[in-house]
């Protein structure tokens, strides 16, 4: 049996990689992908803890997280499309509309 | 055996995310993330969560990432695949089709012979999850449906064409 700590470590690695990529990458779509990777890493932690506590509540939370991710992807991608239509670019450093 | 599967899936998923970081092409980034999600689905299966594993593949690797790919295709309007890469993708698609065929054969073999593991009683089965979802987590479930509707309407309103003839519709 694989110990729970291995899964938690893998989840932490994936989360940190996602966060790192979020700051390194410069286009909105890849940054959005990084958010999805981080959400998935959180899902892995939830399911690993659900297994170690032998309860199903963690799995229910993962279902909710996936639902929220789907909603977020729909709205976020619509916003990205809108930004592209207006500015003809999706580079995040070109988003300076709110700069004082 | 479980250790081997865990380390294989862990290395592939971490490698896919690292490849996503280094890839310049957004479409390739999305494909690498799909690979990472499929590996994560395998890990979920390893953790006695078969239903979540299937959800992960269908909803995450399927629906959400395809949405990403569509948006990438709508935004990246430059050149297509160069001809020297086309042959390579042809070989790759043959390989993927072959793997899928073998997998389907295995799945059908399992269908024809009586199932060894009962889905009903195993932990993390859809039955237990559904029961929990509609009893203890009924309110969050209903709130989620409102959230989905709001996101759907929001996305449609956002990308709606704002033309001058607004009084016509």
Q: What is the pLDDT along chain A (100 residues), one digit of tens a residue?
A: 788 899 999 999 999 999 999 999 888 889 999 999 999 999 999 999 998 888 888 889 999 999 999 999 999 999 888 888 888 888 888 878 777 6
Please name the residues in contact with B86: beta carbons below 8 A apart, sequence gap of 6 or more.
none
Q: Which residue of A has its CA nearest to B72?
A: A29
Contact flag B75-A64 (C-beta cutoff 8 Å): no
> d(Cα A8, Cα B147) in Å, to the nearest integer?
29
Residue A9 in tokens = 């470590």
Probe site for chain A from B35, B47, B54 (most A CB atoms < 10 A): B47
Structure tokens at A91: 């580079």
- Interchain contact, B150 vs A37, CB within 8 Å: no
Side-chain-side CA neighbours of A27 within 13 Å: the count stands at 20
pLDDT for B169 equals: 43
Q: Residue A94 has what DSSP assignment?
A: G
Backbone Cα Rg of chain A: 17
Taking residues B134-139, report their average pLDDT: 92
Give A20→chain B minimum CA distance, Å: 9
Check if B128 contacts A (Cβ < 8 Å): yes
Q: Are B60 and A66 within 8 A, CB to CB?
A: yes
For B58-94, write each residue's pLDDT tens digit: 998 889 999 899 988 888 766 556 666 677 888 888 9
Report pLDDT for A97.
Answer: 78
The verdict on pTM exceeding 0.90 is no
What does the pLDDT look like over B87-123, one tens digit per residue? 788 888 899 999 999 989 988 887 776 655 545 556 6
What confidence category does residue B164 fall into, taking pLDDT thresholds of 50, 70 and 90?
low
Q: Is A99 left (phi over 0), alpha (psi -120 to 50) or beta?
A: beta
Class of domain A26-91: mainly alpha
B9, B42 contact by CB (below 8 A): yes
Q: Is A3 left (phi over 0), alpha (psi -120 to 50) or beta?
A: beta
Tokens of B89: 């993708």
The span from the CA of B42 to the CA of B40, in Å, is: 5
Query: What does the pLDDT read at residue A10?
Result: 94
Residue A71 to residue B40, Cβ atoms within 8 A:
no
Across the interface, of B47, B144, B158, the residue whose CB is closest to A47 is B47
Q: Residue B114 in 3-state DSSP?
A: coil
Residue in the block written with tokens 């996305």: B155
For the stretch B4-28, pLDDT in tens is: 999 999 999 999 999 999 988 888 8
- Judged on CB neighbours under 10 Å (0-12, 13-18, 19+), B100 is exposed
Q: Which of A20, A15, A1 is nearest to A46 (CA)?
A: A15
Q: What is the DSSP letter of B115?
A: P
A80/B75 Cβ within 8 A: yes
Task: Give the number of residues written for chain A.
Answer: 100
Buried-state track B108-134, b at ≥16 Cβ within 10 A, e below 16:
eeeeeeeeeeeeeeebbbeebbeebbe
B167: CB partners within 8 A, 6+ apart: none
The answer to whether residues B45 and A44 touch, using CB atoms and an 8 Å cutoff, is no
Whole-number pLDDT of residue B77? 61
Residues of A in contact with B29 (CB under 8 A): 29-30, 33
When pLDDT is cut at 50, 70 and 90, the band that residue B163 belongs to is low
Whether B124 shows a pLDDT value over 80: the answer reads: no
């Amino acid at each position: 049996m694989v110990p729970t700590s291995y899964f938690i470590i893998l989840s932490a690695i994936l989360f940190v990689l996602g966060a790192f990529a979020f700051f390194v990458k410069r286009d909105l779509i890849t940054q959005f992908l990084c958010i999805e990777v981080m959400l998935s890493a959180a899902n892995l932690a939830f399911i690993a803890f659900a297994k170690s506590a032998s309860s199903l509540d963690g799995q229910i939370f993962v279902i909710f997280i996936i639902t929220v991710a789907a909603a977020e992807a729909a709205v976020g991608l619509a916003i990205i499309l809108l930004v592209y239509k207006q500015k003809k670019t999706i580079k995040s450093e070109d988003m300076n509309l709110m700069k004082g | 055996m479980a250790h081997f599967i865990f380390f294989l899936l862990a290395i592939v998923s971490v490698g896919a995310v690292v490849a996503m970081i280094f890839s310049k092409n957004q479409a390739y980034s999305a494909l690498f993330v799909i690979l990472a999600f499929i590996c994560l689905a395998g890990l979920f299966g390893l953790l006695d969560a078969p239903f979540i594993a299937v959800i992960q593949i269908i909803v995450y690797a399927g629906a959400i990432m395809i949405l990403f790919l569509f948006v990438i295709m709508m935004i990246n309007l430059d050149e297509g695949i160069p001809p020297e890469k086309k042959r390579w993708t042809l070989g790759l698609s043959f390989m993927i089709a072959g793997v899928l065929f073998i997998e389907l054969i295995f799945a059908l073999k399992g269908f024809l012979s009586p199932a060894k593991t009962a889905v009903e009683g195993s932990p993390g089965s859809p039955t237990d999850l559904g029961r929990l979802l509609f009893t203890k987590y009924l309110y969050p479930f209903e709130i989620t449906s409102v959230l989905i509707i709001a996101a759907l309407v929001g996305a449609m309103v956002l990308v709606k064409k704002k033309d001058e003839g607004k009084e016509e519709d």
